[in-house]
Amino acid sequence: MRTELDSILPQKLIITGGKQRRFDYDMKEWSGYVGAKALQLSFKPDLSVREVIDYSSPKECLPEDDDASITFKSGTRRSQNLWVATQTEALCFSTDDFSLQQRISHPVFNDVHHVYPTLDDTLLVTSTGLDAVFEFSADGEKLNEWSCTEMDIWQKFDPEQDYRKVLTTKPHAVHPNHCFEYQGKYWVSNMKKSQCQCLQTGEVINLDSGNIHDGILVGKFAYFTHVNGFISKVDMDLQKVVTVYDMNRVETGPKQLGWCRGLYCIDDDRFLVGFTRIRPSKMQMGMEWLKNRFYAKGWQGCLPTRICLFNSKTMTFDWQINLEEHDIHAVFSIL
């Protein structure tokens, strides 16, 4: 695994995700995970993996249901801080000793998918359960809110309800996922619309390769994972897709790559990509891209949850790490 990448790989990376409760056929995301986990990958002097956070949400931040999921979703690193989401919290950990520095939890938090600290020292929180993005001050005061649908948030949802106590609001209308900031504008990826949307202006960038998840900004380019195994590169100045990579061409066997989510850009050609083992129940969701290659039955029909080093020049996975061996069964962020 030791290659010329040594000179450009960071010394350490953080992986966020969750430990699965059990391998049931009809496992649901809102009840299937029993622990929020973070791993640290160290590349120097040799590759090593160790668990650095094992977190459980306090009862006051959880639904009353005993099986309510506890998992880390997507996060953002800023200097010595790791901001990361659980279903109902925005958490800040020190990357020095991984101690919890701050917790923000609010009644509008339901199925939170991402926390993003802005350049103005505020926080964008993607509350996927409300199909909305909220902006908070550093001390937890709600400053702004944006619906990711054509409908006002409170036309569909009750402003008096504590949505942290609601197990699920699915089905989501658009399923917003990941926020980023470019030239003073806030953008969010909307999975079901396969588009990136500007929160302030309503501008949209369409991505036609499938449902999108991450939106990772590198310079003037934003990189998006598509859950069906594609990566799209968007020129944010032109507001259009300039390159698409199809990772399904790498694996030609009968098993699915997995749910593609989690991305770290190493250089123009190489990416660390996360894949989560597909739940068999997703076969019932009308996802034709799954049906094309889901030959084996149940959990055996998919490759394990892992991260892969994708080389877009050679169209190969140069190496991979099985995360299930480290108690992460759903991967969200590579940071």
Domain holding 26: CATH number? 2.120.10.30
Task: Compute the average pLDDT of residues 149-159.
Answer: 98
Asked if the structure places residue 58 within a domain, the reply is: yes
Cis-peptide, bond into residue 176, ω within 30° of zero: no
Instruction: Calculate what percentage of the chain has a pLDDT beyond 70.
Output: 88
Would you say the pTM of this structure is higher than 0.85?
Answer: yes
Q: What is the pLDDT of residue 12?
A: 94
Q: What proportions of the chain, in percent to the nearest 5, are helix, strand and coil? A: 10, 45, 45
The tally of domains found in the chain comes to: 1
Tokens of 7: 């000179």
pLDDT of 299 over the 50 cut: no
Asked if the structure places residue 170 within a domain, the reply is: yes
Q: What is the mean pLDDT of the chain?
A: 91
pLDDT grade, residue 146 (50/70/90)? very high
* Three-state DSSP class for residue 330: strand
Task: Compute the average pLDDT of residues 197-203.
Answer: 98
Are 90 and 105 in contact, with CB atoms under 8 Å apart? yes
> What would the 3-class secondary structure string for 121-151 be?
CCEEEEEHHHCEEEEECCCCCEEEEEECCCC
pLDDT grade, residue 85 (50/70/90)? very high
What residues contact residue 137 under an 8 Å CB cut-off, 6+ apart? 122, 123, 143
Q: What is the per-residue pLDDT across 33-64, written as a single tens digit (0 to 9) for each?
A: 999 999 999 988 888 999 999 999 999 999 99
CA-CA distance, 194 to 208, in Å (whole number)? 7
Asked if the structure places residue 114 within a domain, the reply is: yes
* Three-state DSSP class for residue 283: helix
pLDDT grade, residue 32 (50/70/90)? confident
| Other CB atoms within 10 Å distance of the CB of residue 260 | 26
* Three-state DSSP class for residue 247: helix
Asked if the structure places residue 303 within a domain, the reply is: no
Query: Interior CA angle at 318 toward 312 and 321, to 5°?
Result: 120
Are 203 and 239 in contact, with CB atoms under 8 Å apart? yes
CA-CA distance, 93 to 97, in Å (whole number)? 8
pLDDT of 221 over the 50 cut: yes
Residue 324 backbone phi and psi in degrees, to 5: -65, -25
Q: What is the pLDDT of residue 50?
A: 97
Asked if the structure places residue 304 within a domain, the reply is: no
Task: Compute the average pLDDT of residues 126-153.
Answer: 98
Asked if the structure places residue 314 within a domain, the reply is: no
pLDDT grade, residue 298 (50/70/90)? very low
pLDDT of 1 over the 80 cut: no
Task: Compute the average pLDDT of residues 221-235.
Answer: 98
Residue whose token pair is 């029993």: 34
pLDDT of 264 over the 50 cut: yes
CA-CA distance, 202 to 215, in Å (whole number)? 17
Domain carrying residue 225: 17-256
Residue whose token pair is 């040799």: 46
Asked if the structure places residue 95 within a domain, the reply is: yes
Q: What is the pLDDT of residue 293?
A: 46
pLDDT of 301 over the 70 cut: no
Task: Compute the average pLDDT of residues 84-105.
Answer: 99
Task: Compute the average pLDDT of residues 114-127.
Answer: 98
Asked if the structure places residue 319 within a domain, the reply is: no
Tokens of 193: 């619309």
**Burial (CB count <10 Å: 0-12, 13-18, 19+), residue 11:** exposed
pLDDT grade, residue 31 (50/70/90)? confident
